[in-house]
Amino acid sequence: MNKIKACLFDLDGVLVDTAKYHFLAWKKLANELNIEFSEEDNEKLKGISRMASLEILLSLGNMELSNEMKLKFAEKKNNWYVEYISKLTPNDILPGVKEFLTLLKCHDIKIALGSASKNSMLILNKLNLVNYFDAIIDGNKITKAKPNPEVFLKCAEELNISPKHCVVFEDAEAGIEAAINAGMYSIGIGSPSILKKANFVVDNLSYMNLEKLSLLK
Ligand code: BG6
Ligand code: MG
């Protein structure tokens, strides 16, 4: 029988609705570069690193840039993004997050953050969520973007829990694939038509409880 000993959470789009700000900032850059960029295109950027996202955006516009220019545009996008998130408060935490994290703590299930973002500490501090986490692995600690499992394997390692006892909560296709590649369970947050490979999908964490975790077999 499975026993979940750790829950690993993606940040953007799972704990807080920052995915919309990533989209707005990429859209602004796309406009500046005269690249057409839709919400559907944006799905491919979810969960992956800033530089990998820029590469996808440039390929949509058949554009090639020097490394120096790429760094410049990635920084520009990040400055817009940081401006958008500067006004985040605990009111922006997504439904059910605090209740579910508290439930896990009460049942001694470990909690980790597994995010590609280099802004994760800034965001967790603004949301007052830092103290819930037993491990925080983010874009500053990893070198390989999701769907590579590095971020989630590092969470398991830091928690000293086997991947087979871990479940990942993700809103991005690349994140669900990273969980599968890590040998972990995965629960999608959002649309079942996009997150087809997850063990199951819920709208948000207010639909989660211990009974649902025990469904993972
Ligand atoms: C992920 C987002 O959580 O973090 C991606 O889903 C984003 O859209 C990535 O590109 C990197 O974030 P940041 O904040 O370091 O640019
Ligand atoms: Mg996400």
User: Tell me, what's the pLDDT at 47?
Assistant: 87
User: Tell me, what's the pLDDT at 86?
Assistant: 95
Calculate mean pLDDT across residues 31-38.
97
Same domain, 99 and 55: no
Same domain, 43 and 141: no
Q: Is residue 133 assigned to a domain?
A: yes
Same domain, 77 and 111: no
Same domain, 36 and 122: no
Same domain, 75 and 124: no
Chosen domain end from 33, 55, 85: 85
Q: Does 27 sit in the ligand 1 pocket, CB within 6 Å? A: no
- Residue 15 clears pLDDT 70, i.e. is over it: yes
Calculate mean pLDDT across residues 113-141.
97
Q: Domain span at residue 111?
A: 6-16+93-214
CA distances from 210 to 6, 10, 61, 156, 206 (A): 12, 19, 45, 20, 12
Nearest Cα residue to atom 12 of ligand 1: 117
Task: List helix spans (H) across 44-149.
Answer: 50-60, 67-85, 97-106, 120-127
Same domain, 67 and 105: no
Same domain, 125 and 66: no
129-163: pLDDT as tens digits: 999 999 999 999 999 989 999 999 999 999 999 99
Q: Does 114 sit in the ligand 1 pocket, CB within 6 Å? A: no
Calculate mean pLDDT across residues 100-126.
97
- Residue 79 clears pLDDT 80, i.e. is over it: yes
Nearest Cα residue to atom 13 of ligand 1: 117
Which atom of ligand 1 is nearest to 120's Cα?
14
Identity at 63, one-letter amino acid code: M
Nearest Cα residue to atom 6 of ligand 1: 47
Which of 29, 46, 50, 176 maximizes ligand 1 atoms within 8 Å of its Cβ, making it the mutation to test the pocket?
50
- Residue 77 clears pLDDT 70, i.e. is over it: yes
| DSSP 8-state secondary structure symbol assigned to residue 9 | E
Q: Is residue 1 assigned to a domain?
A: no
CA dihedral of residues 87, 38, 195, 83 (deg, nearest 10): -10
Identify the CATH number of the domain in which residue 50 sits: 1.10.150.240
- Residue 1 clears pLDDT 60, i.e. is over it: no
Number of domains in the chain: 2
Percent helix, strand and coil across the chain, each rounded to 5?
45, 15, 40
**Gap between the Cα atoms of 174 and 214, Å rounded:** 24
Query: Which positions are annotated as active-site residues?
Result: 10, 12
CA distances from 144 to 15, 88, 97 (A): 22, 28, 27
Q: Which two tokens stand for residue 80?
A: 């817009």
User: Tell me, what's the pLDDT at 145?
Assistant: 87
- Residue 27 clears pLDDT 90, i.e. is over it: yes
Task: List helix spans (H) across the chain.
Answer: 19-32, 39-43, 50-60, 67-85, 97-106, 120-127, 150-159, 173-181, 210-214
* Residue among 172, 87, 152 nearest 122 (CA): 87
Calculate mean pLDDT across residues 28-56.
94
Same domain, 203 and 127: yes
Identify the CATH number of the domain in which residue 206 sits: 3.40.50.1000
Same domain, 153 and 63: no
pLDDT interval class at 2 (50, 70, 90): low
181-194: pLDDT as tens digits: 999 999 999 999 99
User: Tell me, what's the pLDDT at 217?
Assistant: 80
Return the axis-axis angle of helices 67-85 and 19-32, rounded to nearest 10°: 140
Calculate mean pLDDT across residues 105-114.
97
Same domain, 11 and 27: no
Q: Does 42 sit in the ligand 1 pocket, CB within 6 Å? A: no
Same domain, 40 and 10: no
Provide the mean pLDDT of the chain. Answer: 96
